[in-house]
């Protein structure tokens, strides 16, 4: 990285002991954990190969493959540059302040030979003194030289380079590091202690510790959010002011818990489609509702188990999740399994109609996880839980069979732990769109799901946002007033009942009776249009979960097991 301000990494790849006359070298098209084809090869420049001081013939044969003609030369060198100017957890970035590298967007591999080990030497920009990665140091190499057992490990070990701060702690005897890039108003002692609690509580879920080291890379940015899991590390992006508020700090702990729990769920307990990876194309699975949504369920449970939230605070959070799912029209159109399978074309490419056609596998998977956990605990009279299912999957498939599990094997694992099958539940509410029986599941624990919405009010059924001071329609909800009345996304609202619209029109709707007619003047494609339609009642609901005072002893057993309450 000789000129970091230009946003380029320079890569030299030495390949030794290769037979034949040609070798194909590939760049991945996606980053595992982020289910979208991102075409990383678009950032590659100046690809060339040489041997013995002479240039070799190179032909690009498809979008992400270069064929090298080395004519029997067993040792040769590849050089190329990568433009890296997208600072996200899924991509790579370098500027004058630091470098951040995701392997799948920078490192290539010889086709069909991902299993080969490699040695990596990182040469920081002038003035930079620190390199943080979960890769193990190479024994006798130069400074900042690391080793990987195969390409998957190399690609799955992000690297932070610069003059960042490193914090350290141990969790159950395993060394952990936090590489903190950028200023932030964090308390070093508090964050290390709290991350330690999150890690140790997470390890109790599966009860198996596969780690000998772990690295958190934390980017403190003006606007930050999100994370990406890796085999022995994760990258988190956080607003540098998030530490100021309790809500912001709890959001960070929840994000850390989510990405850390992925080291079991996804990286080791994984659907069979998610490894070994095919870096050339999409890797389809119908289980992201468990891999991502289930991880979100466990991360919230972990925060509560670690003592950062009281039980009622967790229940309030779960109720918010139920509210979000049930108020999404697409929840009735797309199942959790379909949402998982279509992640590659829908989740990362939302449009104005996505809310009507789909449901997030994160959101739906979280509430499925809660319902399924309660069903298992109830079926076993408080003896087993979803924790035991994860433990079984880890032992049976990751340790014993050394592979991922199939969809039906997950259902078999649930049945084995619960002592009964839930095939109808999976058919109707995971692979189908039948509403989850929240009331029944919560009832097992003596809890009530209460709809606190009150008397239905009239609603436009559309979202409006200001665009250069103009109120523009951004979303129209399926079957709502606007949907049926012909209001379109992209319409500029000019007048309501003959009066100029200057701000959010929705605030005028609540005072109107259901069934009353609204007259709108809109601009659409430069033409004025008049619309008139009746206002329907809002179908949005708001839920709260309450603890019943008259819970039976059987219900209390389930409640204590689920929320890990003292007897």
Q: Is residue 158 part of a domain?
A: no
| pLDDT one-digit tens code per residue, 60-80 | 999 999 999 998 899 999 999
* Contact call for residues 357 and 428 (beta carbons, < 8 A): no
Paired with 237 in beta bridges are 219
Paired with 22 in beta bridges are 69
179 CB neighbour count, 10 Å cutoff: 25
Q: Is residue 75 part of a domain?
A: yes
* Contact call for residues 368 and 322 (beta carbons, < 8 A): no
Q: Is residue 169 part of a domain?
A: yes
| pLDDT one-digit tens code per residue, 428-458 | 999 999 999 999 999 999 999 999 998 888 9
Q: Are residues 241 and 318 in the same domain?
A: no
User: Which stretch of 122-136, 178-192, 249-263, 450-464 has the lowest confidence by average pLDDT?
Assistant: 450-464
Q: Are residues 462 and 385 in the same domain?
A: no
Q: Are residues 15 and 91 in the same domain?
A: yes
Q: CA neighbours within 13 Å on the CB side: how many for 438?
A: 21
Q: In 182-272, where do the E strands start and end?
A: 214-221, 227-229, 233-239
Domain range for residue 89? Answer: 4-144
- Which one of 401, 436, 471 terminates a domain? 436
**Averaged pLDDT, 542-553:** 96
Q: Are residues 90 and 210 in the same domain?
A: no
pLDDT at site 504: 73
| pLDDT one-digit tens code per residue, 155-169 | 999 999 999 999 999
Query: Among residues 67, 77, 81, which one has the least CA distance to residue 25?
Result: 67
Query: Among residues 487, 492, 491, 490, which one has the least CA distance to residue 469?
Result: 492
Residue 554 has pLDDT above 80, yes or no: yes
Alpha helices by DSSP H, 216-283: 246-261
Residue 509 has pLDDT above 90, yes or no: no
pLDDT at site 87: 96
Q: Are residues 240 and 297 in the same domain?
A: no
Q: Tokens at residue 449, please?
A: 């799901």
pLDDT at site 141: 66
CA-atom Rg of the chain in angstroms: 27
Residue 508 has pLDDT above 90, yes or no: no
pLDDT at site 108: 98
Q: Are residues 391 and 464 in the same domain?
A: no
At 56, the pLDDT band (50, 70, 90 cuts) reads: very high
Q: Is residue 156 part of a domain?
A: no
Task: Describe the crossing of helices 311-326 and 361-379 by its angle, rounded to 10 degrees.
Answer: 130
* Rounded Cα distance, 348 and 35, in Å: 8
pLDDT at site 468: 86
Cα first-last separation, the chain:
59
Q: Tokens at residue 522, please?
A: 């809109």
**Averaged pLDDT, 353-378:** 98
Q: In 333-446, where do the E strands start and end?
A: none
| pLDDT one-digit tens code per residue, 297-314 | 999 999 999 999 999 999
For the chain, the domain total comes to: 5
* Contact call for residues 25 and 32 (beta carbons, < 8 A): no
Q: Is residue 154 part of a domain?
A: no
CATH of the domain at 171: 3.30.2010
Count of helix runs (H) and strand runs (E) in the chain: 16, 30
**Averaged pLDDT, 361-385:** 98
**Averaged pLDDT, 253-281:** 97
Q: Are residues 52 and 173 in the same domain?
A: no
* Rounded Cα distance, 544 and 488, in Å: 33
Q: Are residues 110 and 15 in the same domain?
A: yes
Burial 407-423 (b: 16+ CB within 10 A, else e): bebbbebbbebbeeebe
Q: In 16-113, where do the E strands start and end?
A: 22-26, 44-51, 54-55, 57-62, 65-69, 76-83, 93-94, 99-101, 109-110
CATH of the domain at 289: 1.10.390.10
* Rounded Cα distance, 535 and 461, in Å: 9
DSSP symbol at 517: E
At 404, the pLDDT band (50, 70, 90 cuts) reads: very high
* Contact call for residues 41 and 105 (beta carbons, < 8 A): no
Question: Strand order of the sheet with strand 118-121?
Answer: 118-121, 145-148, 136-137
Query: Among residues 288, 254, 292, 265, which one has the least CA distance to residue 392?
Result: 265
240 CB neighbour count, 10 Å cutoff: 17
**To the nearest whole number, what is the mean pLDDT of the chain?**
96
**Furthest CA-CA distance within the chain:** 84
Query: Among residues 14, 213, 212, 240, which one has the least CA distance to residue 108?
Result: 14
* Rounded Cα distance, 151 and 94, in Å: 22
Q: Is residue 294 part of a domain?
A: yes
* Contact call for residues 94 and 7 (beta carbons, < 8 A): yes
pLDDT at site 531: 97
- Which one of 390, 405, 436 terminates a domain? 436
Paired with 10 in beta bridges are 81
Q: Is residue 13 part of a domain?
A: yes
Could you tell me the CA-to-CA distances from 390 to 232, 363, 385, 403, 416 in Å, in that order? 19, 20, 9, 14, 12
Residue 291 has pLDDT above 80, yes or no: yes
pLDDT at site 268: 98
Q: Are residues 13 and 115 in the same domain?
A: yes
Q: Are residues 60 and 115 in the same domain?
A: yes
pLDDT at site 273: 95
User: Which stretch of 125-134, 141-150, 345-354, 357-366 has the lowest confidence by average pLDDT?
Assistant: 141-150
Q: Is residue 255 part of a domain?
A: no
* Rounded Cα distance, 278 and 70, in Å: 26
Q: Are residues 348 and 270 in the same domain?
A: yes
**Averaged pLDDT, 98-113:** 97
pLDDT at site 466: 87
pLDDT at site 227: 97
Paired with 522 in beta bridges are 493, 529
CATH of the domain at 69: 2.60.40.3650
- Which one of 180, 214, 248 terminates a domain? 248
Q: Are residues 66 and 174 in the same domain?
A: no
pLDDT at site 215: 98
């Amino acid at each position: 990285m000789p000129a970091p301000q230009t946003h380029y990494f320079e890569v030299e790849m030495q390949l030794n002991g290769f037979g034949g006359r040609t070798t194909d070298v590939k760049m991945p098209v996606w980053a595992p954990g982020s289910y979208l084809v991102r075409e990383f090869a678009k950032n590659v420049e100046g690809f060339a190969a040489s041997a013995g001081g002479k240039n070799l013939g190179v032909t690009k044969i498809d979008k992400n493959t270069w064929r090298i003609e080395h004519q029997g030369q067993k040792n040769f060198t590849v050089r190329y540059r990568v433009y890296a100017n997208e600072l996200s957890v899924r991509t790579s970035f370098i500027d004058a302040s630091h470098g951040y590298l995701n392997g799948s967007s920078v490192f290539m591999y010889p086709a069909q030979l991902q299993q080969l080990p490699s040695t990596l030497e990182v040469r920081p920009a002038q003035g930079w003194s620190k390199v943080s990665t979960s890769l193990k140091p190479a024994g006798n190499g130069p400074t900042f030289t690391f080793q990987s057992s195969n390409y998957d490990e190399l690609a799955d070990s992000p690297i932070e380079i610069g003059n960042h701060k490193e914090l350290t702690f141990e969790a159950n005897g395993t060394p952990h590091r936090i590489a903190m890039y950028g200023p932030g108003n964090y308390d070093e002692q508090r964050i290390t202690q709290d991350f330690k609690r999150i890690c140790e509580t997470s390890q109790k879920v599966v009860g198996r510790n596969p780690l000998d080291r772990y690295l958190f890379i934390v980017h403190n940015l003006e606007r930050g959010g999100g994370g990406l899991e890796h085999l022995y590390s994760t990258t988190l992006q956080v607003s540098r002011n998030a530490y100021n508020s309790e809500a912001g700090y709890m959001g960070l702990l929840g994000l850390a818990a989510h990405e850390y729990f992925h080291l079991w769920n996804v990286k080791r307990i994984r659907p069979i489609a998610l490894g070994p990876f095919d870096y050339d194309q999409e890797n389809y699975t119908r289980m992201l509702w468990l891999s991502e949504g289930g991880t979100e369920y466990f991360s919230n449970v972990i925060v509560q188990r670690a003592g950062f939230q009281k039980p009622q605070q967790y229940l309030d959070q779960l109720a918010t999740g139920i509210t979000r799912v049930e108020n999404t029209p697409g929840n009735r159109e797309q199942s959790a399994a379909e949402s998982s399978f279509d992640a590659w074309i829908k989740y990362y490419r939302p449009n104005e109609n996505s809310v009507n056609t789909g449901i997030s596998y994160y959101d739906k998977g979280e509430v499925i996880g809660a319902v399924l956990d309660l069903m298992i605990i109830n079926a076993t009279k408080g003896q087993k839980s979803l924790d035991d299912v994860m433990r079984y999957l880890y032992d049976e498939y990751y340790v014993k069979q050394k592979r991922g599990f199939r969809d039906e094997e997950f259902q078999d694992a649930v049945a084995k732990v619960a002592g009964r099958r839930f095939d109808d539940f999976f058919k109707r509410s995971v692979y189908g769109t039948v509403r989850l029986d929240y009331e029944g599941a919560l009832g097992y624990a003596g809890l009530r799901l209460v709809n606190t919405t009150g008397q239905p009010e009239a609603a436009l059924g559309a979202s409006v946002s200001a665009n250069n001071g103009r109120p523009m329609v951004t979303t129209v909800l399926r079957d709502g007033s606007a949907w049926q009345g012909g209001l379109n996304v992209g319409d500029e609202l000019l007048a309501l009942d003959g009066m100029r619209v200057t701000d959010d029109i929705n605030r005028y709707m609540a005072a109107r009776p259901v069934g009353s007619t609204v007259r709108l003047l809109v601009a659409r494609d430069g033409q004025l249009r008049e619309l008139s339609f009746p206002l329907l009642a809002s179908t949005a609901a708001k839920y709260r979960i309450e603890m019943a005072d008259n819970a039976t002893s059987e219900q209390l057993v389930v409640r204590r097991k689920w929320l890990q309450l003292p007897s």
